[in-house]
């Protein structure tokens, strides 16, 4: 009767400890704080479809594509908000 791999091999593979991330602190903090399109839409008060449309037409905020994932730097979102600010003339 076949029972798969011997028990010892299975436990040895499961007991291997994962190595900690070897990225520098600057790279790790940059990756840690990237925003999803849902978060950007919530921050800007628009729909996710609007964020996707802006990305399609290459409008800000700038994005990062990692495989199929799309992420945004918080600084890009902040710059978009600042550039959209309207100046009001005083009378």
pLDDT in tens for each of the 91 residues of the chain? Answer: 555 555 454 444 444 455 555 656 665 565 668 999 999 999 999 999 999 999 999 999 999 999 999 999 999 999 999 999 888 888 7
pTM score, whole prediction: 0.63
CA gyration radius, the chain:
22
Contacts (Cβ under 8 Å, ≥6 apart) of 70: 36, 37, 55, 63, 64
Q: State the chain's maximal CA–CA distance in angstroms.
A: 91
- Rounded Cα distance between 37 and 47, Å, is 9
Domain 25-83 falls under CATH 3.90.105: yes
Domain ranges of the chain: 25-83
Phi/psi of residue 70, each to 5°?
-115, 130
> What's the length of the chain?
91
């Amino acid at each position: 009767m076949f029972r798969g791999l011997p028990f010892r091999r299975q436990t040895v593979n499961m007991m291997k400890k994962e190595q900690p991330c070897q990225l520098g602190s600057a790279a790790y903090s940059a990756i840690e704080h990237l925003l999803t399109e849902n978060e950007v839409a919530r921050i800007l008060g628009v729909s996710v479809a609007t964020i996707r449309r802006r990305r399609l037409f290459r409008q800000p905020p700038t994005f990062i594509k990692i495989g199929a994932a799309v992420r945004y730097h918080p600084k890009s979102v902040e710059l978009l908000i600042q550039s959209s600010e309207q100046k009001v003339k005083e009378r």
